[in-house]
Each structure stands twice: as C-alpha cells, then as structure tokens.
Structure 1
Amino acid sequence: MSQYQIAVIVGSLRKDSFNRKLATAIAKLAPPEFSFKQLEIGDLPLYNQDDDANQAESVKRLKNEIKAAHGLLFVTAEYNRGMPGVLKNAIDHASRPYGQSAWAGKPAGVLGASVGTIGTAIAQQQLRNVLAYLDMPTMGQPEAFIQVKDGLFDEAGNIGASSRDFLQAWMTQYVAWIKHHAA
C-alpha cells in the first residue's frame, strides 16, 4: 500500500489536455510508496461566498480529498498569460469558509505544459503566489516550464526519452519535498 497519497489538481478540463497527460505520465516516475489521484474540479459551482454555510457536495468531496492527502501536485495550463479560472475556482472553494481551508500546511509541487515557448511560467507564478497565501509549502526548485513538442510523450503516453531525465530529477526532488514536509 502507498505510504504517501498525493492529490493532483489539473488546471485544464479539456479531454485531451496536455497537462492531464503530463500529470498521468509524471506520476509513473514516482517511487512505489507514492500514489497519485487526480481530483475532479470540473463539477464545482462558481465560487460564491453566500454558499459558504451550505457548500455543494462536490465542494465537500474536494475538501475531504485534499485533507486526506499527504501533499498536492498542481499541473496547470496557462490561459491568456494567467492561471485557468477553473483552477482558481477550485482553490477558492477549498479555502473557504475563512478559517476552514483544506490547503493549509499541505506541501505542494507545481508544473505545467503548453505549446508556448515559456510553457506555463506566468500561470505557475500566479499559482505560487496564491499557494503562499494559503500557507502551503511549495517546492521552488527545479522549476518545470514545459513546452509541448513532439517526443514529450512516447507512444504509450509515458514521458519521452528527451524529457525523461529532467522530469525524473523533478520528481525525485518533489518526493523529497513531500517526505520532508509531510513528516
């Protein structure tokens, strides 16, 4: 059985999302004591503070899954030089009502992929600012601003040979980060 359960938040709802593929593929680079579960965020209503006292079942589910995890992995797209709205919506829901955040103290890693040459650098920086406010120790190095090119994934959907060493090093550091902060 896995010793460390990691909740994965993919900041894209698209069926063939590069970031969903990346989240699935990078999880395979982790040691066997780590398990990864991609959490559903597409069914959350738009955040409205009026609903804090009576949160939707989908919000309660999300908060419980986050609380049960030893750490978080955010794999995000970048839309119009920013964090996707669906990701911010999920973050806002799980942080409320005030004083009842599911995020507090949970260690996190951030990465993302895009066809653009700077990957998801700006979305990741915005996300890191929000995670800092939420009191989530977030791994700073190595950063992973991944440009989607032929060969990023192999035919089986795994990380391709040209990116494997870099992403394995990223995962090794992430594992150490989680072990340190989840202790």
Structure 2
Amino acid sequence: MSIRIVALVGSARAGSHNRQLAETAIKLAPEGVEVQLQEGLAQVPFYNEDIDVEDGVPQQAAALREAVAHADAVLLFVPEYNGTMSAVLKNAIDWLSRPFGAGALAGKPVAVIGASGGQYGGVWAHEDARKAAKTAGGAVIEDITFSIPDSLNRFAGIHPLDDREVATELASAVGRLAQAAQRAAEETTVAL
C-alpha cells in the first residue's frame, strides 16, 4: 500500500525554512510514501461560514479540503509568529475542520514539526498547532516532535537537506507518520 502525506507549510514566503523542510521531506520520503506539498494556502480566504456553502466553497478552500481528504496523513510545518502559529496555517486548519466532526482532518494522523528563528524552535506554535489540529478532528501523533531553533543562523549557508542531523530527524518523522497512517488504514480495514 502506498501512503500519501500532504504537507501544509505555515509560511507563505517562497524561501522560508519551513518550506525548505517540506521540500526536503518530499526528497527523503521512504519508498512507498509520497509527500505532497499543498500549494496556495495564502490564497485560501479566511474561514467564514457565509462562504462555506455546499454550492459555492471558494476554489482554493475546496482544493485544500480535497487534497487532505485524499491523503492518508498530514504533516504540518509550523513557523512561530509572535508566540503562536501563523494565520495562514490556522486558517487552513479552520477550513479542514468543517463540517464539524466530518471535516477533511477527521481521523487523519497529523504530525507537527518545523523551524523558527527563535531559541526554542517554535515549540509554542507547535503546541498550538497540535491543539488546533486535534480539536479539528485530527489524530495528532504527540510523540513526533521536531523543533529546529535559530534557523536563520543554522540554515544561513546550507539547505536543510544538506544538514545531516536535520535530514535524519526529518526522515524519521516522515517514516513514523507513514507508519501511523498505515496502522490507521489497517484498523479501518479490520473494522469494515
């Protein structure tokens, strides 16, 4: 069975370290695992029930929901902005949470990792992202944690792919998330 993981990057900046981490995850995914970067989160309108209607969900929001609905797991790359996750990522989670109890995140294994320029690697933002994803119905894998502090200096002259420690930890996180997705799929098959 092939496992598809959708990567959601909480930074809209093209050269962000979290985007670079997502691109690295794509390259390091083990055989049988595909990591797909979901583009366009910055174009998803702010969640509003008035525009979340059956015959008129905005195209960008519908594409996000469809990508996550067809994925086996979700990998959130979370920068820290002012002590919490970015509005871009929080908005994506809000769209994925609806309809409540049956949103695209419902029951999906979710892991939260990322880099930040701060000394703690964005752990506050990661905690908030885990809480939001869990509230949205995701099956957050609490023991997959990877926070890279001081990313501005750490990646000043090197891509995350070329940082052996980062590459090893990231590959491990992707592999463990894929295993969780495989277990979830097997449990669903047995239940049927």
1:41-66, CA deviations, whole angstroms, 9 ceiling, x for partnerless residues? 11111111111213111111111111
The alignment's C-alpha RMSD in Å is 2.2
> Number of residue pairs matched?
182
1: distance between equivalents of 2:108 and 2:182?
11
In structure 2, give the amino acid aligned to 1:133: T
Q: Secondary structure at the match of 2:176?
A: helix
Contact 1:26–1:159 (Cα < 8 Å) also in 2: no
**Deviation for aligned residue 1:170:** 2.9
**Deviation for aligned residue 1:135:** 2.3
2: distance between equivalents of 1:142 and 1:60?
28
2: distance between equivalents of 1:176 and 1:97?
27
Q: Secondary structure at the match of 2:74?
A: strand
- Which of 140, 145, 148 is the equivalent residue of 1:146? 148
Distance 1:168 1:37, change over 3 A: closer
2:88 aligns with 86
Distance 1:176 1:153, change over 3 A: farther
2: distance between equivalents of 1:120 and 1:155?
20
1:21 aligns with 20
**Deviation for aligned residue 1:159:** 4.2
2:189 aligns with none
Q: TM-score, normalised by structure 1?
A: 0.89
- Which of 126, 136, 145 is the equivalent residue of 1:134? 136
Structure 2 gap ranges (5+): 187-192
Q: TM-score, normalised by structure 2?
A: 0.85
Q: Secondary structure at the match of 2:52?
A: helix
Q: Which moves more between the two structures, 172-181 or 73-82?
A: 172-181
Q: Secondary structure at the match of 1:6?
A: strand
In structure 2, give the amino acid aligned to 1:11: G
- Which of 105, 108, 117 is the equivalent residue of 1:106? 108
2: distance between equivalents of 1:23 and 1:57?
23
Fraction of identical pairs, as percent: 30
**Deviation for aligned residue 1:81:** 0.3
Q: Secondary structure at the match of 1:50?
A: coil
In structure 2, give the amino acid aligned to 1:43: Q
Structure 1 gap ranges (5+): none
2: distance between equivalents of 1:142 and 1:153?
26
Distance 1:124 1:86, change over 3 A: same
Distance 1:109 1:165, change over 3 A: same
Q: Secondary structure at the match of 1:80?
A: coil
Q: Would you say 1:42 and 2:45 are equivalent positions?
A: no
Contact 1:105–1:135 (Cα < 8 Å) also in 2: yes
In structure 2, give the amino acid aligned to 1:104: A
1:100-157, CA deviations, whole angstroms, 9 ceiling, x for partnerless residues? 4111011111101012110010011001111221221111224211122656598565
**Deviation for aligned residue 1:9:** 0.4
Q: Secondary structure at the match of 1:144?
A: strand
Q: Secondary structure at the match of 1:16?
A: coil
2: distance between equivalents of 1:136 and 1:98?
12
